[in-house]
């Protein structure tokens, strides 16, 4: 009876042959958008989730990767109960398709991105098999939204710099703005993709634009880094109410000001996204970035 290693080698060889047969055409892959922030409590995960739903409503196939290591809460925000995560895929107890959750409005949610860190310690043949599964996931979606942890830790920069675009969430609070600038500074030192500011909990559109303009000017002057601005989300009591009920606010309060803003944000991100940085898989680039980011 063949052992597990023999079976795995057979699977890999078959898939490599399949890839070789289709090598004449470039593989389709999802456009990846990393959502990050300089500090916690700014509503980053809530924006990532609700934006993913808004993008799905615009006809896009969307997968949301919860990359908040050890503190992931996307499943809580949308009322999902998932036990399995990427760490179980790495150990071989589950396939990737087994840990993908069906979220609101047709989005898919992957919990437990900490499993990607553990992947580096796996045998090479296991890494190749998991990479193939992850690449299949990308080919099945138009957009991959990556909700990173907060701050400028190496692994956060790794998740961000492997993406096609980074959305940096801040609020009008002075400490949040200062931490957003620190994040821009940290990412500017790496091979950072286009970076755009999102102002959450804004009192008005003019306030949000002023905050973004200040960050843009400072980044241009001291870091020689151009930063974009894609929109804001209004301060709205409906957001807190939806969180307490474990429902996305674009679902629970579809006509509230914050929901209107998030739909406008989703449209703008889709329309201004530009071309893919490379045809390589996000997860493949993630592994490369792990070696580059110090």
Task: Grade residue 189 by pLDDT with cuts at 50, 70 and 90.
Answer: confident
Token pair in block for residue 199: 């102002």
DSSP states along 99-160:
H-EE-GGG-EEE--TTHHHHGGGS-HHHHHHHHHHHHHHHHT-SEEEEEEPSSS-HHHHHHH
Domain 29-292 fold is Rossmann fold (3.40.50)
Instruction: State the Cα–Cα distance between residues 267 and 146, nearest whole angstrom.
Output: 18
Segment 245-280, tens digit of pLDDT: 999 999 999 999 999 999 999 999 999 877 787 778
Segment 227-240, tens digit of pLDDT: 999 999 999 999 99
Q: 């957003």: which residue's tokens?
A: 180
DSSP states along 237-292:
HHHHHHHHTTS-HHHHTTTSHHHHHHHHHHHHHHHT--S-S-SS-HHHHHHHHHHH
Segment 117-167, tens digit of pLDDT: 666 667 777 777 777 888 899 999 999 999 998 988 888 898 899 999 999
Percent with pLDDT over 90 in the chain = 57
Instruction: State the Cα–Cα distance between residues 55 and 61, nearest whole angstrom.
Output: 8
Using the predicted structure, report yes or no on whether residue 225 has a pLDDT greater than 70: yes
pLDDT of residue 24: 41
pLDDT of residue 279: 78
Residue pair 173/38 in contact by the 8 Å Cβ criterion: no
Of the ranges 17-26, 195-204, 213-222, 266-275, which one carries the lowest mean pLDDT score?
Answer: 17-26
């Amino acid at each position: 009876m063949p052992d597990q290693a023999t079976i795995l080698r057979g699977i890999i060889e078959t898939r490599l042959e399949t890839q070789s047969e289709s090598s004449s055409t470039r593989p389709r892959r999802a456009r990846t958008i990393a959502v990050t922030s300089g500090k916690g409590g700014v509503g980053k995960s809530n924006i990532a989730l609700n934006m993913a739903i808004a993008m799905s409503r615009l006809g896009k196939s969307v997968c949301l990767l919860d990359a908040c290591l050890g503190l992931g809460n996307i499943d809580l925000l949308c009322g999902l109960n998932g036990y399995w995560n990427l760490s179980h895929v790495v150990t071989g107890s589950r396939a990737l398709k087994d840990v993908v959750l069906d979220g609101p409005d047709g989005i898919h949610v992957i919990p437990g991105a900490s499993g990607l860190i553990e992947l580096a310690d796996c045998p090479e043949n296991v890494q190749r098999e998991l990479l193939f599964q992850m690449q299949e996931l990308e080919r099945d979606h138009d957009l991959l939204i990556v909700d990173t942890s907060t701050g400028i830790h190496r692994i956060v920069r790794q998740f961000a710099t492997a993406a096609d675009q980074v959305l940096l969430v801040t609020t009008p609070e002075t400490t949040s703005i200062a931490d957003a600038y620190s994040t821009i500074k940290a990412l500017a030192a790496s091979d950072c993709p286009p970076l755009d500011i999102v102002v959450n909990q804004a009192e008005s559109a003019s306030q949000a634009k002023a905050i973004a303009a200040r960050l843009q000017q400072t980044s241009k002057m001291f870091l020689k880094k151009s930063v974009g601005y894609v929109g804001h989300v209004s301060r709205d009591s409906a957001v807190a109410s939806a969180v307490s009920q474990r429902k996305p606010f674009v679902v629970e309060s579809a006509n509230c000001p914050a929901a209107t803003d998030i739909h406008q944000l989703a449209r703008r991100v889709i329309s201004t996204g530009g071309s893919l940085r490379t045809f390589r898989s996000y997860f493949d680039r993630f592994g490369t970035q792990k070696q580059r980011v110090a």
